[in-house]
Chains A and B, each alone.
Chain A
Amino acid sequence: MPIVTGKSQHWRIWAAHAGLCILIAITLFPLLAVISISFRPGNFSTGSLIPTEISLEHWKLALGIGITLPDGTRMEPPFPVLLWLWNSIKIAGISAMLIVAISTTAAYAFARLQFAHKNSILNSMLLLQMFPVAVALVAIYAIFDSVGNVVPWLGIETHAGLIVAYMGGVAIHIWTIKAYFETIPVEIEENAKVDGASHWQTFRFVLLPMAVPILMVVFVLAFIGTIIEYPVASILLREEPNLTLAVGSKFYLYEQKYLWGDFAAAAVLSGLPITLVFLAAQRWIVSGLTSGGVKG
């Protein structure tokens, strides 16, 4: 860019670097601190931020291994972190698969098929999605309470119930997949139809193989969205072995039982994989966020 640079340019660049470094230091402080704390012995010590001695006790407890303290007392893991992580992965994995399945078919209908009130249905779905689930918790609780009286494996305190509850959040994903389908030339499918393929066959054998990248993206988005979901999980799951990570983690930091070091290890252990997946999917997440608004 042909911008005339003044004498102050050099000085300004240094100021910008300094400012950014300070800001990054502040931003990363909590994340680095928690890693350091996870290696610091004890749950209460307010010692230096850079641990003087490395202790693996919190990591052992987080990984479900009991430890023996120097004074001979036996410490068992306070919470089943790995079980919670498994619950989270299981619920998020199954939910994400189902979400991908039902949003893909719906997106196909919106992108390719003709039916009455197409635009108004799509718009109302996107509008509905703006209402946060946290506001309707009372109703969701009441619904699953009643369902559980008839179908016990789908009620409160069941993972199946939680997975089913997540099937409401598909509008954004339908929108994303629909936009992708629309970039694929419709002629390819028309050729398949000329060759005698049914709707289902064109969808299954022609369109879907071309849409695999976007399906992966939506899977990752849905997976992250459900694995970090807290409100619905917190009302549907209450018993310790049933919890997901998002619901269980807070129990480390109760005033009466403050397990700061143990929490730090559990947080790093469970947060790191999710963060890495998120960073890998960053590009699509951001574009999904910006295009998520309602468009007519």
Chain B
Amino acid sequence: MMTFKRVCPPWQLWLNRLIALGVGILLMWLVIGLYSEGRAAWAVAILALGSLSIYIYSSAKTLAWRYLFPGVAGMIVFVAFPLLYTVQIGFTNYSASNLLSEERARAYLLDQSTVDENSAYFFTLHREKTTLRILLTPPTDSHETTRFISSAIKLDRDHASDAPIEMQTLTTTINSLGAPMSLREVLVYRDVLMAVRLKLPDNRTLQYVGVREFGSIVPSWNATADGALVQQSTGEIYVPNAVTGFFETAQGARMQPGFKVGIGFANYTRMMFDADIRGPFLSIFVWTIVFAGLTVLFSTILGMSLAMVLNWEALRYRTVYRTLLFLPYAVPGFISILIFKGLFNQNFGEINAILNALFGIRPAWFADPLLAKTMLLIVNTWLGYPYIMVLCTGLIKSIPADLYEASAIAGAKPLTNAVRITIPLLIKPLTPLLIAAFAFNFNNFVLISLLTDGRPDYLNTKLPAGTTDILVSYTYRIAFTDAGTNFGLAAAISTLIFFMVALLSLANLKLARVNEKKG
């Protein structure tokens, strides 16, 4: 018999307090870090989540939530929040060209600097035993005549990270200096020279700009009080435009990088009315439904027939058959899909080798849209039928045997049994599961991505779109693979997918409830 001590020993109480304190400090460090990075929203979110967890684990009133919290928090942070966040991104212009927030885009531009070519100096290196001196000479056409000299230094890598090298005004004589080093000798020091900064007595800082020149660095941009930026080289004023998400001149010239702004329903109107996107979008939408529908249809026909045949008691070796037929489901999807990718290869693939030997044909499985779609359906049926087969095997067992006895007395053939008894009784409990399978294949990103990657592509589209792309792989391409990395548009399409999934889930829920009441 186990005995329990209800009272905590004092050291454990102190340990708990210590842990709470540690977590609190960690939390504050994180929040302050986020806030100082200019991510106030993140800081607030983390603060809320953190305080909530400390409250739950230290208060006496929240017993159930101590057990629930990790799981629920995981779902909220990594499932619910990404869904909502995706919807929000769908209303912005978040993309490769509008990646940063306005403040960070401004900070980035203000950080840019250019070399003032007009204030360039020629430089020469002069050897002095083991040390070197840098001599700066103004160009001959310049009105300046002052020359500058550094102290004798060892020009090695240490200077790269050091403070700028101080330069002094050179007084008349340069006798002590040896002859300038040749260009070839200077080039040896190129890496170090590129890293060093030279500081003139008037506080100008010079930087390596060419094999013979040092020039001064000036910031490219100046901020004005109202948030606009002035380009130093042209004097043009770039005003942040909250509609387009760029710093723009009055003439509409844009400066990269842009920043993230809300653009309302622009991504959605683009999907509906921009002919370049609407065309492929609609075809992809139709194909997604056809793909998911046909996959479920073929897998169901095959899986159900197999389940019925394997339920036939007169048949021997049924367990062996069942195990072997279940194998496609047991092999990890990413491996079997890639195996098919290799087998279907037009030139080196074994499937074409066989077809060539038998019929003398080598179909272009990956280049022809119709063949590529056929291949996807073949592979997906292969992947999908064992699941349906197993489901049906389970469901068939619950069909009362007396139905078959009655039909046997009536002299019915096996086919009649299947069509009149088995299939009608299977379909009803199977429907919610088939809807779930449809929803799964509607978003079967792994198959498309690994087998065809959406190719072959449509020609003449602004955004690359593939003939075998389904909606979810299309959004992946828009967001992650192609040049125009457009997170906003991708998120808008994802939002549409959410609605489809939500509808399917509701249908599923309703049918499952109806079945449960009857059963």
Contacts and interface: CB of A to CB of B under 8 A. Distances in A.
B445 A249 contact: no
A253 B3 contact: no
A263 B501 contact: no
Chain A CB within 10 A, most for which of B33, B71, B343, B445: B71
What's the interface size class on B, roughly?
35 or more
Contacts of B504: 130
Interface in A1-54: 1-5, 9, 12-13, 16-17, 19-20, 23-24, 27-28, 30-31, 33-34, 37, 44, 46, 49
Given A136-B82, A271-B331, A294 B512 contact: yes
Nearest to B352: A46
Given A168-B75, A230-B449, A109 B68 contact: yes
A16 B315 contact: yes
A141 B353 contact: no
B314 A196 contact: no
Contacts of B315: 13, 16-17
B498 A131 contact: yes
A168 B343 CA distance: 36
Contacts of A264: 339, 342
A9 B71 CA distance: 55
A253 B74 contact: no
- Interface SS of chain B: helix
Given A33-B343, A267-B338, A293-B433, A135 B332 contact: no
Contacts of B513: 296
Contacts of A143: 81-82, 85
Contacts of A108: 67
B190 to A, nearest CB: 30
A137 B77 CA distance: 14
Contact of A3 (B78, B408, B502): B408
A151 interface: yes
Interface in A111-145: 113-115, 121, 125, 127-143
B326 interface: yes
A219 to B, nearest CB: 15
B65 interface: yes
A135 B42 contact: no
A174 interface: yes
Interface in A150-186: 150-151, 164-171, 174
Interface in A199-256: 199, 201, 203, 205, 227-228, 230-231, 234-235, 245-246, 249-250, 252-253
A106 B67 contact: yes
Interface string B1-12: 111111000000
Interface residues of A, number: 108
Contacts of A3: 404-405, 408
A138 B495 CA distance: 11
Interface stretch (B125-133, B181-189, B245-253, B474-482): B474-482
A135 B348 contact: no
Contacts of A263: 338, 342
A174 B414 CA distance: 43
A74 interface: no
Chain A CB within 10 A, most for which of B309, B332, B445: B332
Given A1-B401, A294-B512, A130 B408 contact: no
A31 B449 CA distance: 21
A279 B33 CA distance: 48
Given A1-B404, A125-B75, 4 more contacts: A125-B72, A267-B335, A267-B339, A293-B432
26 contacts: A2-B408, A3-B408, A16-B315, A20-B325, A23-B325, A24-B321, A30-B343, A31-B331, A46-B353, A106-B70, A131-B79, A131-B502, A135-B494, A135-B497, A138-B491, A139-B89, A141-B479, A146-B42, A174-B71, A201-B4, A231-B476, A258-B345, A258-B348, A267-B338, A274-B331, A275-B331
